[in-house]
Amino acid sequence: NAGVTQTPKFRILKIGQSMTLQCTQDMNHNYMYWYRQDPGMGLKLIYYSVGAGITDKGEVPNGYNVSRSTTEDFPLRLELAAPSQTSVYFCASSAGTADQPQHFGDGTRLSIL
């Protein structure tokens, strides 16, 4: 059972570098989400998608970009990495209506130095 797969699991970036966090799901879910979780905090929604070609901003989108060219993949792009983007990033997906629970990947721990 692959479910939601995120790569990489860990990454250290220098300030100003860019990178893409990968997320793939094999459950044929239409809805996909990117969250960040800072220590002692809940999850903050960065971007979400309701289907291929459709994305929208969440609560904290600044500094990030997304695309959704296929149902399976929902990559998150950091363009000019800043220390404030040091966090744990979780990708999630859900099926059917928005009432369906979200299933999470294992996360990417990102440090910006």
Partner 1 sequence: QKEVEQNSGPLSVPEGAIASLNCTYSDRGSQSFFWYRQYSGKSPELIMFIYSNGDKEDGRFTAQLNKASQYVSLLIRDSQPSDSATYLCAVKAGSYQLTFGKGTKLSVIP
**Binding interface with partner 1 (CB under 8 A):** 31, 40-45, 48, 50, 58-59, 90, 98-99, 101-107
Q: How many CA atoms lie within 13 A of 64 on its CB side?
A: 27
Residue 10: strand pairing partners: 109
Token couple for 25: 């799901």
- Choice between 77 and 103, CB closer to partner 1: 103
**Shortest gap between Cβ of 85 and partner 1 (angstroms)?**
19
Taking phi over 0 as left and psi of -120 to 50 as alpha, with beta for the rest, 40 belongs to: left
**Shortest gap between Cβ of 16 and partner 1 (angstroms)?**
28
Rg over CA atoms, the chain: 13
Residue 42, Cβ neighbours under 10 Å: how many? 7
**Shortest gap between Cβ of 107 and partner 1 (angstroms)?**
5
- Choice between 85 and 105, CB closer to partner 1: 105
- Choice between 78 and 105, CB closer to partner 1: 105
**Shortest gap between Cβ of 68 and partner 1 (angstroms)?**
13
